[in-house]
Amino acid sequence: MKYIIAMIQPHKLPDVKEALAEIGVRKMTVTNALGCGAQGGYTEVYRGVPSEVNLLKKIKLEIGVNDDYADKTVKAIVKGAKTGEIGDGKIFIFDLPDCVRIRTEENGSDAIG
C-alpha cells in the first residue's frame, strides 16, 4: 500500500478530482495549506505599506491506495494538476505499512477500499 501526498494549485483541484475519478479513485482528504517553493512569493501593497507574501495558497491531497493503483494515481494527479509553469506542485509517495477501517475493523488492503 502507498500513501500519496500531493501539493497542488487550488484552481486545479476540480481537474485533479476529475482525473482521479476516471481511474476510480474517489477517497481522499483535501486540506487548504500554505507553502513556498521555487515560486518564491510576491509583494503586495496594503494601505500604502508594501509587504512580502512568501507563503502561497496550496491544496494538500492525501490518498491511500493499494500498490497496483499507486502509479495510476500519480499519473492522474499529474494529468489534472500540470500547467507546465513553476508552482504546479509536488507529489510525495510513502510506503503505508497498515490501514484500519474503524467501522469494520478490517485492515490492510481490504481497509483501503
Q: pLDDT digits over 72-99, tens only?
A: 999 999 999 999 998 899 999 999 999 9
Instruction: Tell me the percentage of the chain whose pLDDT exceeds 70.
Output: 96
Do 73 and 23 form a contact (C-beta atoms < 8 A)? yes
Q: In what order do the strands lie in the sheet with 89-95?
A: 29-35, 56-65, 2-8, 89-95
Tens of pLDDT, residues 1-23: 999 999 999 999 999 999 999 99
Higher pLDDT, 39 or 71: 71
| Sequence-ordered list of residues with C-beta below 8 angstroms from that of 106, at least 6 positions apart, any chain | 100
DSSP state letters, 14-79: HHHHHHHHHTT----EEEEEEE-STT--EEEEETTEEEEE--EEEEEEEEEE-HHHHHHHHHHHHH
Q: What is the pTM assigned to this prediction?
A: 0.86
Please determine, for residue 33, whether its predicted confidence score (pLDDT) is greater than 80. Answer: yes
